[in-house]
Chains A and B, each alone.
Chain A
């Protein structure tokens, strides 16, 4: 569609307007002053402990060191230890697979719900927003417990319903087979993830100028094209950050798996990185290895986002 060049996203505002030789000198310091509070908090409360975490990942640091024994410097031993642990690779592959499925599902469904919210009338829109809010407001512990319970072997609503419709699901254990275990986990994680994504995307959608959409429609752009060439570029920064956050959350997903593993199935067949790292840190008191796993997870998430970062830097969207 050469008639519809990708719309310059809103971020491409003219930066020159806010800057230049004509500006008074005092204004030059203004942006730094504006950044100061946030930067200060981030550096002190996040940067500094992270530095410590990084150091810790290269020491021998267990419960003894936590209680005062001097830690030995062991360089990259914790990292090589992880990479040589065959279980780590299995868990990593499983986690990435699960994460990819969950993020794609969450983002796609979240976007559809956001578009739907924009599309329907006022009453339904209100119903959608309120129900999303309720789902979002539900404490994670209870959300997980309710879902686990819906799939319970003995008293689960799912088994009851399926049996009502003639299936033989009496006493069926959804968690004993790893695949259906991951299916249940996926449902829970995606269900819990969608409200936030849909909510934020919808907020973003309200900023897309109607005139642009209308003009595009007059030019004969179909719904799909309007989405591709008008809406998507506008939402790009929000989508980027939501995807990054979802990747991050789903990569270290913990509560859902912890609760489900307690409820059924065989834990070693269903471990993911979050549970694995938790077990290392607080189960086996290997805070050093736990720290190394955290650094590795950080690197993995970075790899995921490098692609995006490259793209946006190239387009000077930043």
Chain B
């Protein structure tokens, strides 16, 4: 019964990715139930998405019909044409991509450094930092609009990519630090040490051994950071007050003008367009990672 010293060390450190993958696909009595449950989850998760896409291809009159149209029988690209014409979609897309990508890259780098520090070293102030990062997340960001605007205005950062990026960084950093910390810690130090015995430098040991093993964590946190920055509305609204600097969530609101009611077709087409880059981002990140989420190998 040696569960307390997990058999992780037994693994050859040189080739963590080729570890014997434990089969999760062994036939078990609950499999049918599990598969059924999975199908139900997929349906529930996808239904509003399907409804969004379905609606985006429908004509206005069909969207409001008394009996729902489950498929766009009279399909039209009108909503998409409108999406491209109303406001400036391309400029908003460019702004959103710039801010979001910078946020994701910087957040991951900063968070990774911090995560390594707190999970691989023991030093004075370590606990304070960890607790502080946890607490910092509790500050309701929306309440800060006024004071944050004042501060950024003082630094001449209103209407700049840098200003908005800084705000998004502090929104996503605490979570990314905490999550990556868990993932760094999840890779046993013994693996790195074994690699160092084999002649790797400490840095090499980290990049060659720990980093690949953290892939799912990086995908998850990167996606988190991407989606947070991508969909954020309030700060983008006040900090980027010139239409030319507008980001996509603010642009999307042009279809939701108060008195005239929501332009459903327009919102749905705009939202569908907005969702595409997220999916693309995920595919790229996922593809880059050797051991991704979908492979879902159980490492040992």
Chain B CB within 8 A of A204 CB: yes
Chain B CB within 8 A of A99 CB: no
Q: Are B45 and A195 in contact (CB under 8 A)?
A: yes
Q: Are A139 and B48 in contact (CB under 8 A)?
A: no
Q: Are A237 and B178 in contact (CB under 8 A)?
A: yes
Chain A CB within 8 A of B219 CB: yes
Chain B CB within 8 A of A133 CB: yes
Chain B CB within 8 A of A314 CB: no
A134 cross-chain contacts in B, Cβ below 8 A: 45-46, 49, 275, 279
| Binding-face segment, A73-81, A84-92, A124-132, A176-184 | A124-132
Question: What number of B residues sit within 8 Å (CB to CB) of A?
Answer: 121
Chain B CB within 8 A of A107 CB: no
Closest to A209 in B: B300
- A208 CA to B216 CA in the complex, in Å? 12
Interface of A is mostly: helix
Given contacts A13-B185, A199-B223, contact A141 B253 (CB under 8 A): yes
Q: Are A53 and B143 in contact (CB under 8 A)?
A: yes
Chain B CB within 8 A of A224 CB: no
Closest to A157 in B: B68
A22 cross-chain contacts in B, Cβ below 8 A: none
A18 cross-chain contacts in B, Cβ below 8 A: 120-122, 189
User: B193 to nearest A CB, angstroms?
Assistant: 7
Q: Are B7 and A139 in contact (CB under 8 A)?
A: no
Q: Are B138 and A301 in contact (CB under 8 A)?
A: yes
Chain B CB within 8 A of A60 CB: no
Given contacts A15-B122, A211-B300, contact A252 B142 (CB under 8 A): yes
Interface centre among B109, B111, B119, B143 (most CB of A within 10 A): B143
Q: Are A206 and B140 in contact (CB under 8 A)?
A: no
Q: Are B279 and A133 in contact (CB under 8 A)?
A: yes
- A196 CA to B222 CA in the complex, in Å? 12
Chain B CB within 8 A of A108 CB: no
Q: Which of A124, A138, A278 contacts B142 (CB 8 A)?
A: A278
Q: Which of A42, A117, A318 contacts B130 (CB 8 A)?
A: A318
Q: Are B122 and A135 in contact (CB under 8 A)?
A: no
User: B11 to nearest A CB, angstroms?
Assistant: 9
| Binding-face segment, B77-85, B86-94, B145-153 | B145-153
Q: Are A313 and B275 in contact (CB under 8 A)?
A: no
Q: Are B38 and A128 in contact (CB under 8 A)?
A: yes
User: B4 to nearest A CB, angstroms?
Assistant: 6
- A34 CA to B113 CA in the complex, in Å? 5
Chain B CB within 8 A of A283 CB: no
- A268 CA to B3 CA in the complex, in Å? 56
Q: Are B44 and A191 in contact (CB under 8 A)?
A: yes
Interface of B is mostly: helix
- A113 CA to B45 CA in the complex, in Å? 11
Closest to A40 in B: B110
Q: Which of B51, B130, B173, B178 contacts A146 (CB 8 A)?
A: B51
Chain B CB within 8 A of A145 CB: yes
Q: Are A203 and B167 in contact (CB under 8 A)?
A: no
- A16 CA to B123 CA in the complex, in Å? 11
Chain A CB within 8 A of B229 CB: no
- A131 CA to B42 CA in the complex, in Å? 6
Chain B CB within 8 A of A227 CB: no
A219 cross-chain contacts in B, Cβ below 8 A: 1, 3
Q: Name the interface residues of B35-93: CB closer than 8 Å to any CB of A.
A: 35, 37-39, 41-42, 44-46, 48-49, 51-52, 55, 64-68
A96 cross-chain contacts in B, Cβ below 8 A: none
Chain B CB within 8 A of A298 CB: yes
Chain B CB within 8 A of A120 CB: yes
Given contacts A5-B4, A121-B25, A131-B42, contact A49 B148 (CB under 8 A): yes
Q: Are B275 and A7 in contact (CB under 8 A)?
A: no
Q: Are A30 and B121 in contact (CB under 8 A)?
A: yes
Q: Are A140 and B166 in contact (CB under 8 A)?
A: no
B38 cross-chain contacts in A, Cβ below 8 A: 116-117, 120, 124, 127-128
Q: Are B188 and A241 in contact (CB under 8 A)?
A: no
Q: What sequence of 0s and 1s flags, for each residue 236-274 of chain B, a beta carbon within 8 Å of any chain A beta carbon?
A: 000000000000110011001000001010011011001
Closest to A216 in B: B3
Given contacts A120-B35, A244-B137, contact A31 B24 (CB under 8 A): no
Residues of A bordering B, CB below 8 Å: 3-5, 7-8, 10-11, 13-19, 28, 30-32, 34-35, 37-39, 41-42, 44-50, 52-53, 56, 66, 113, 116-122, 124-129, 131-143, 145-147, 149-150, 155, 157, 160, 191, 194-196, 199-200, 202-204, 206-216, 219, 234, 237-238, 241, 244-245, 248, 251-252, 254, 274, 277-278, 281, 287, 290-291, 293-294, 297-298, 301-302, 305, 309, 313, 318
Residues of B bordering A, CB below 8 Å: 1, 3-4, 6-8, 10, 21-22, 24-25, 30, 34-35, 37-39, 41-42, 44-46, 48-49, 51-52, 55, 64-68, 109-111, 113-114, 116-123, 125-127, 129-131, 133-140, 142-148, 150-151, 166-167, 169-170, 173-175, 177-179, 181-183, 185-189, 193, 213, 216-217, 219-220, 223-224, 227, 231, 233, 248-249, 252-253, 256, 262, 264, 267-268, 270-271, 274-275, 278-279, 282, 291, 293-294, 296-300
Can you list 5 contacts pairing A with B, beta carbon distance less than 8 Å?
A: A42-B133, A117-B296, A140-B233, A155-B65, A291-B147
Query: Besides the contacts A41-B166, A244-B138, A302-B135, what 7 more A-B pairs have beta carbons closer than 8 Å?
Result: A38-B111, A138-B271, A139-B275, A141-B233, A155-B64, A155-B66, A210-B298
Identify the 7 closest CB pairs spanning chains A and B, nearest first: A294-B143, A210-B22, A142-B271, A34-B117, A137-B278, A15-B122, A203-B220
